[in-house]
Amino acid sequence: MNAGPDVERRISSWLAEEVPTRAPDRILPAAFERTRHTHQRRFGAAWRSITMNRTWQLATAAVVGVLIIGLGAVWIGGSGGVGGPSGPTPSPTPAPSPFPSSGDVEPGTYVLQGSGSPSITLTMPAGWQSDNGQPVKNNGTSASLTLMPWIVSNITSDPCQWNSDPALSPSQIALLEPPVGPTVDDLASALAKQPLRNATTPTDVTIDRYVGKSLELTIPADLDFATCSGGFFVSWVGATADETMGFAGPGSHDRVLILDVDGVRLVLDAIDFPGARAGDRAELQAIVDSIQIEPVSATPSASPAGSP
Amino acid sequence: MDRELVERARSGDHDAFEVLAAGIVDHCYGVARLILRDADRAEDAAQEALVRCWRDLPSLREVDRFDAWLGRLLMRAINDEFRRGSRFRANITVLTREPSTTDAVSTAIADRELLERGFARLSIEHRSIVVLRLHLGLSVQETATILGIPVGTAKSRLHYATEALRRALEADTEPRSQEVSA
């Protein structure tokens, strides 16, 4: 379907109304203060308007491919010893693609991975999109579902009055004191007691081969979001306080899976918003059921797996 | 674009650069403001683009391509600013699912609200292409060059973005019963 010229005209008109005609006066003095102390770069490749032609792209791709295959061969060969006997070549298993950062997601198997977090392989049905690298299903209306991986470091003491700063500074988030402990049970029981979440009792769950706890959270349908900090409802923060998410309306439902992945506490938050269709909820469940998890091989760093 | 100013600035004349910068700062800020949707961050991105412009001007061999070159610098500065502050802010808005109440307001105001909401949900890449194509009126080829992407990708991103905004505009007119059909 084509958005059409009328939509483009409306977007153009809106942008023309929105654009400021004049920059704040302080930008230039601030920039000049820096440029007066900045040496110009007089080396390196010049920028040209020439775009890479197709042949060169293919050649580059081929070289990169050879390098990867070569390095792979060295790495694989290393495990068997240099010059060792070569056994039958196993048929290659197609590697799942990295989950796209935006746009429509073709049906298939993908890997969601953040720095230092377990990698999550999942199978996506048709009709889903990526919103900043997270699976989302939008129906063009208020109905929507999403799946978000997290490394949760702490929860808010009150998800509505969660920030004392009108500008919502991450440093002013009202977090639980003392902070949530490090185990799966610690986080599950803290969320179960969090105000305004109407949590279910945590139950045992196993995803792939990793055990943990599952609980369901909702937001009261009659909660007046205008009374919440910034109009948002915030339950937890990621590895650092500037990694969080806020709900902007009542009635959403979270199924929270908290897993111990070889010492890393991985949280999978499967959210459906009011108006989500039953079929879409079933798709979200199927995605969760398809999840396979690979632990972090290196030292885990605290970063949310699905953060944009 | 004043070719002589660019050449003088490129050869290290800071006075010339100041005149050049004064002529482009409104444009840089305006584009950054549209894409980032935040005045403070747009200021930072515009300032950063100007600093990089000064620093990297000697690498510009084709002075006639200054506008496209500057566009590319600006988009990088905007992207960097977005990435720097996006984790908190993007997530804070990503879950916005408020029902719209536009019955009593004009279509123009309703459009603004719906577009604002739809635009905020676009990725930085999609916002950028919408601004370059539909606000600055650049061709797909020019847009692709500034963004450093193939023309086909530019077309695809524009299609996705305008479709998303069309859906945002139409969402308010769809019967609510369709939203909850199960």
Query: Does B105 lie in the same domain as B68?
Result: no
Q: Tell which of B62, B93, B124 closes a domain.
A: B93
ipTM above 0.85, yes or no: no
B33, B58, B93 - which closes a domain: B93
Kindly state whether residue B15 falls inside one of the protein's structural domains: yes
Residue A123 to chain B, least CA–CA distance (Å): 23
- What is the side-by-side order of every strand in the sheet holding A119-124? A97-98, A108-112, A119-124, A292-294
Each residue's pLDDT tens digit, A189-224: 999 999 999 999 999 999 999 999 999 999 888 888
pLDDT in tens, B67-111: 989 998 999 898 877 766 543 333 333 333 333 333 333 456 667
Check whether residue B67 and residue B55 sit in a common domain.
yes
The domain that contains B46 carries what CATH number? 1.10.1740.10
Assess whether B78 and B112 both reside in one domain.
no
Residue of A nearest to B55 (CA): A40
Among B67, B93, B119, the domain-final residue is B93
Q: Select from A17, A41, A232 the Cβ nearest to the Cβ of B56.
A: A41
d(CA A62, CA A49): 24
CATH number at residue B138: 1.10.10.10
B54 and B76 inside one domain: yes
Q: Are residues B101 and B89 in the same domain?
A: no
Q: Tokens for A103?
A: 């746009």
- A residues 62-91 lying closer than 8 A (beta carbon) to B: none
Neighbours of B68 (CB within 10 A): 17
Cβ-based contacts of B51 with chain A (< 8 Å): 31, 34-35, 38
Q: Which residue in A48, A56, A15, A100 sits closest to B145, CA to CA?
A: A48
- Please count the structural domains in chain B: 2
Residue B135 within any structural domain of the chain: yes
Percent share of chain B, pLDDT over 90? 29
Q: How confident is the model at residue A242 (pLDDT cuts 50, 70, 90)?
A: low
Which of A6, A12, A15 to substitute to test the interface with B, most B CBs within 10 Å? A15
pLDDT per position as a tens digit, B121-165:
788 888 999 999 999 888 888 888 888 888 888 888 898 888 888
pLDDT tens column, A158-194? 999 988 876 667 778 899 999 999 999 999 999 999 9
CB within 8 Å of A297: residues ≥ 6 apart: none
Angle between the B14-36 and A27-35 helix axes, to the nearest 10 degrees? 130
The parent domain of residue B146 ranges over: 96-175
Does the residue B150 lie in any domain? Answer: yes
Same domain, B101 and B77: no
What sign does the CA torsion over A168, A169, A171, A172 have? negative
- A167 contact residues in B (CB cutoff 8 A): none
Domains of chain A (ranges, CATH numbers) = 106-153+181-226+242-294 (3.40.1000)
